[in-house]
Amino acid sequence: MANEVNWSANYAYRAPTIARPRSVAELQELVKQAGDSSPLRALGTRHTFNDVADPGAAGTLVNLAELPAKIEIDPERRVVTVAAGLRYGDFAIALDEQGWALHNLASLPHISVAGAVATATHGSGSGNANLATTVAAVTFVDGSGELVTLRRGDDDFAGAVVAFGSLGIVTELELDIVPSFEVAQTIYLGVPYERVSEALDLAYSVSVFTDWSPASINQLWVKARAEAPAVEGAVRELGATPALHKIHMIAGADAEATTEQFGAPGPWHARLPHFKLEFQPSAGEEIQTEYLLPRRHIDAAIDAARALTEQITSLLLISEIRAIAADQLWLSTAYTSGEDDWADGAVAFHFTWKREQAAVEQASALLEAALAPFGARPHWGKVFTDAARVPGLYPRFADFRSLVEKYDPRGVFRNDYTRRLGL
């Protein structure tokens, strides 16, 4: 088999085969038979835009979709154990049916739990940390074929949660859960750029959408918990007005694909994502880049991005700005030591581009240079061009490199992506 591609078809995997183990024991045997000349990488739902999951032309992709679809809730400990390959949108429904929820979801419910965790994927909300921070335990098959479980508080845990597949293939995760809740989503138009930072604190989850060309942002998506005080007055004070019809953040796209709007309360899993599970998310044929930087630099970073309007807007489908709480997972894009610029949280600058690879790489290089003074960290699963500077953005990267040596001494999970990072 050849020519497997990611979901948006901007990347073709070079690996000639896909293995589909039906048990953990079968997966362990696959790993034991592999090596640095025949590497493995886990293949999730393919919602990545680079070669992070590609083991190369001599390697094998490992699809976990045929492992048992485990969902086990422990109400006393408030955790759920889930199979790594499950999509958030599928297991969230089962979770909600039993009265439980996750604290947040990403904009796409189509992504796998393990893939999202491994790349520090996030939703929005200045009080909400990324999805990886809900992990209470992670179980993976390491480079020796051994099954390893690390729990919150273990020495290696904080370095093993966000690991983009470099320590092993994750088989299941234990996630923190909270009582189920409802969310109401309302879309507003026309917030001035200088008030974006205020807007991000208005509600439980807030997203700002812009193409960087107008005098004000295009759209403000406000997702408020149903029991929270009304925010419309505060939003109007910013100069915004409610949208009069259902809209998609990308001009010309079918708004039916987006989650319900106009303030209608609904289950957390049906409002926190931007897109419905049964529809194609975003534009489909696209490329994504994203950079996270300390929240305190948001105004200067907005100015830096706006200065590139002439170079990027014609290539751009839409851009999104979101706030994320800080955490202490070593390779989380919102990592903080507690005494640095990141302690007040992170802000994410996301760019959804037309599917023009060379032009996107050029635009990304411009953005990386413009945002570099703020210590911007690229999303692990999206396009970025300057891998050499990435290790220096993470104070615990050398410690992570030691974990790679510990859990994958034979180089089973190393690929071109990890080698560019010096792993």
**Which residues lie below 8 Å from residue 72, measured CB to CB, with a gap of 6+?**
80, 81, 82
b/e per residue, 26-35, with b = 16+ CB within 10 A? ebbebbeebe
Joined together, the tokens standing for residue 32 give 């034991």
Backbone angles phi, psi at 416, to 5 degrees: -60, -35
Which one, of 190, 251, 240, lies nearest residue 215 by Cα? 190
Contact, 347 vs 326, CB < 8 A? Answer: no
CATH of segment(s) 71-180+396-410: 3.30.465.10
User: Fold match between 71-180+396-410 and 182-384?
Assistant: no
Rounded to the nearest angstrom, the gap between the alpha carbon of residue 420 and the centroid of all alpha carbons in its chain is: 21
What is residue 1's predicted lDDT score, i.e. its pLDDT? Answer: 45
Count of alpha carbons within 13 angstroms of residue 272, beta-carbon side: 27
Query: How much helix, strand and coil, in percent to the nearest 5, is found in the chain?
Result: 25, 25, 45
Residue labelled with tokens 């320590």: 167
Count of alpha carbons within 13 angstroms of residue 52, beta-carbon side: 25
Low-confidence ranges of the chain (pLDDT < 50): 1-2
182-384 is a CATH 3.30.565.10 domain = no
Nearest-angstrom CA–CA distance, 170 and 115:
9
What is residue 282's predicted lDDT score, i.e. its pLDDT? Answer: 63
What is residue 15's predicted lDDT score, i.e. its pLDDT? Answer: 94
pLDDT tens, position by position, 191-238: 999 999 999 999 999 999 999 988 889 999 999 999 998 898 999 899
Nearest-angstrom CA–CA distance, 378 and 394:
11
Beta bridge partner(s), residue 186? 222
**Which residues lie below 8 Å from residue 274, measured CB to CB, with a gap of 6+?**
107, 108, 207, 221, 249, 258, 259, 281
Backbone angles phi, psi at 408, to 5 degrees: -135, 60
Nearest-angstrom CA–CA distance, 129 and 346:
9
296 SS3 class: helix
b/e per residue, 134-158, with b = 16+ CB within 10 A? bbbbbbbbbbebeebebeeeeebbb
What is residue 278's predicted lDDT score, i.e. its pLDDT? Answer: 77
Contact, 173 vs 82, CB < 8 A? Answer: yes
Four-point Cα dihedral 277, 49, 294, 128, nearest 10 = 20
Task: Give the pairing type, strands 219-225 and 205-210.
Answer: antiparallel
b/e per residue, 281-318, with b = 16+ CB within 10 A? bbbeebbbbbbbbbbbbbeebbebbeeeeeebeeebbb
Joined together, the tokens standing for residue 240 give 């915004």
Nearest-angstrom CA–CA distance, 183 and 271:
6
Joined together, the tokens standing for residue 281 give 């998310």
Contact, 20 vs 61, CB < 8 A? Answer: no
What is residue 101's predicted lDDT score, i.e. its pLDDT? Answer: 98
The residues spanned by each domain of the chain are: 71-180+396-410, 182-384
Joined together, the tokens standing for residue 201 give 């604190």
Joined together, the tokens standing for residue 341 give 């610029």
**Which residues lie below 8 Å from residue 332, measured CB to CB, with a gap of 6+?**
120, 130, 132, 133, 161, 162
Backbone angles phi, psi at 158, to 5 degrees: -65, -20
Nearest-angstrom CA–CA distance, 255 and 259:
9
Joined together, the tokens standing for residue 337 give 């030591």
Task: Give the pairing type, strands 377-378 and 346-354.
Answer: unpaired
What is residue 3's predicted lDDT score, i.e. its pLDDT? Answer: 64
pLDDT tens, position by position, 305-361: 999 999 999 999 999 999 999 999 999 999 999 999 999 999 999 999 999 999 999
